[in-house]
Amino acid sequence: EIPAPAHDVWMLLTDWAGMLRWSISAKRGGPVGTLIKCELIGKPDQVPRTRRMILDSGVTIEEELVYQNNETRRIYYRKTDSLGSVGYVATSHVDEIDDLRCRLHIASWFDVDPSEDAATSVARFERIYAGIFEGFSLYFSA
């Protein structure tokens, strides 16, 4: 649950390269490093569009937004990186609770790279998603 109107959360979610504004990883680091740069590849309202996240650890992550529906407030995106997941596809959507609160949902599907332990991979994504929820909540609480 995010303490903000659904429209505002949706606008932040779809500002595809705006992560430095809300990312916990940019503020205090995360499970794979500190986010130091986020670049937009494509135009802000173009689908598809890609964000390139660069971490201080040298890891580069690209997430391509491939579907955006402003009416249902749903996106689908896929990711490429070297973090032990293969075929990563995710969806996020925003549901209005009332005028001042909404619920942000994230679901993902991926295969674990054969070189990595499945439990380790799942734990990393759980920390990443918890950081996303915390980052959005803190952004709108300030």
Q: What is the pLDDT of residues 10-42, one digit of tens each?
A: 999 999 999 999 999 998 888 778 999 999 999
User: Would you say the pTM of this structure is higher than 0.85?
Assistant: yes
Return d(Cα 7, Cα 85) in angstroms, integer: 31
Percent with pLDDT over 90 in the chain: 73
pLDDT confidence tier of residue 75, bands split at 50, 70 and 90: very high
Amino acid identity for residue 55 in this structure: L
CA angle 93, 45, 67 (to 5 degrees): 45
Q: Classify 94 as helix, strand or coil.
A: strand
